Amino acid sequence: MAHGPNKDEKIVFVGDSRVRAKASTLIPQDFSAYPGKSEVFIPNFLLKEWMVGVVVLCGILALVMSEAAPLGYPADPTNTQFIPMPDWYFLFMYQLLKYPYTSDQFIVLGTLGVPGILFGGLMLAPFLDTGPERRFYKRPIASTLMFLGLIAVTYLTVTSWSHYQHELKEKNIIPEHIKREEEMHASKGTAGGEGGGAKKPAASAAAIVAPDDPAAAIYQKSTCIACHGGDLKGMPSAKIPALRGVGDAHDKAAILGIMKNGVGNMPAQYDANISKGLTEADLDKLADWLAKQKAAQ
């Protein structure tokens, strides 16, 4: 580029327009006007949160696959000893519905009104609390509502669980999922054998007496089958006795008395069988047939 004789003359070089200039690196945004904020939400912050969520999810999946979930027994509407309970994260709602002002005539308030206000408030919180302050102690209204919500949920959850444990202890009930878990571990121990040696032969159960008797068909229609099973073997893990050999301990009159008055944790089943369609003659035949179930024949 030509220039004059002046040595102090500033020379400006002009690049060739046909050569594309290199793009400069992106300059990070300045967040100095936003206290506590140092990066963009998308994708920087969101990507890190997503990665943490994936790690936590993988850990939960590993725990789920490592141990089978203990399930309860099939639903039985005649089982009056069963206490229904929701999952732990719904215990506060379960307890809320026990109070008189959220149940019975006010059930709509308990199921739709109160939850709607709570979850609606959570949805509206970002629009109502628009202040720039991020420190919780400088946001009294939002912080107060948050702490009140946490205290209420914690109190209702603990109260619901305490009442459940008290009811189990009072009625001497073992939850079904615990019974099934004990059965599962017991079956694993039996399958494992005893030191690799030959397994001991199991004691043979008493056979069913007169399986072709018409009373056997009545038994299949009765409420007895729900707990004692169609094979009369009961549920030993749940402390429900077998009916095979019951005739050795009870005669016909005693069995009828148990049907009418119950025994132990077993409630009376006489009226329940009548409402199920059986007649008094059917129950008389059933008691007579059960009295014949003796171990030695």
Q: Does residue 14 have a pLDDT over 70?
A: no
Residues 104 and 47 in one domain: no
Within 10 angstroms of residue 12's Cβ, the number of other Cβ atoms is 6
For the segment 35-57, the average pLDDT, to the nearest whole number, is: 83
pLDDT-based confidence at 81, cuts 50/70/90?
Answer: confident
Indicate whether 208 belongs to any domain: no
The one-letter code for the residue type at 183 is E
- The DSSP code for 64 is H
Percent of the chain whose pLDDT exceeds 90: 23
For the segment 39-54, the average pLDDT, to the nearest whole number, is: 86
Q: Does residue 195 have a pLDDT over 50?
A: no
Overall domain count for the chain: 3
Q: Give the residue from 177, 266, 261, 180 showing the smallest Cα distance to 223.
A: 266
CATH number of the domain to which 106 belongs: 1.10.287
Residue-level pLDDT at 9: 67
Q: Compute the half-sphere exposure of residue 210: CA atoms within 13 Å on the CB side of its CA.
A: 17
Q: Which position has the higher pLDDT, 81 or 49?
A: 49
Give the structural domain span for 135: 88-177
pLDDT-based confidence at 95, cuts 50/70/90?
Answer: very high
Burial (CB count within 10 angstroms: exposed 0-12, middle 13-18, buried 19+), residue 170 = exposed
Indicate whether 122 belongs to any domain: yes
Average pLDDT, the chain: 81
Q: What is the DSSP string of 181-210?
A: HHHHHHHHHHHH-STTSPPPPPPPPPPPS-
Q: Does residue 199 have a pLDDT over 60?
A: no
Q: Which position has the higher pLDDT, 191 or 197?
A: 191
Residue-level pLDDT at 179: 76
Q: Give the residue from 151, 152, 177 showing the smallest Cα distance to 164.
A: 177
Residues 112 and 162 in one domain: yes
In whole angstroms, give the CA distance from residue 80 to residue 236: 19
Least confident of 105-109, 112-116, 181-185: 181-185
293 touches 206 (CB < 8 A): yes
Answer left, alpha or beta for residue 190, where phi above 0 means left and psi between -120 and 50 means alpha: alpha
Indicate whether 203 belongs to any domain: no
pLDDT-based confidence at 264, cuts 50/70/90?
Answer: confident
pLDDT-based confidence at 289, cuts 50/70/90?
Answer: very high
Global pTM value: 0.47
Residues 98 and 159 in one domain: yes
Q: Does residue 192 have a pLDDT over 60?
A: no
Q: Does residue 170 have a pLDDT over 90?
A: no
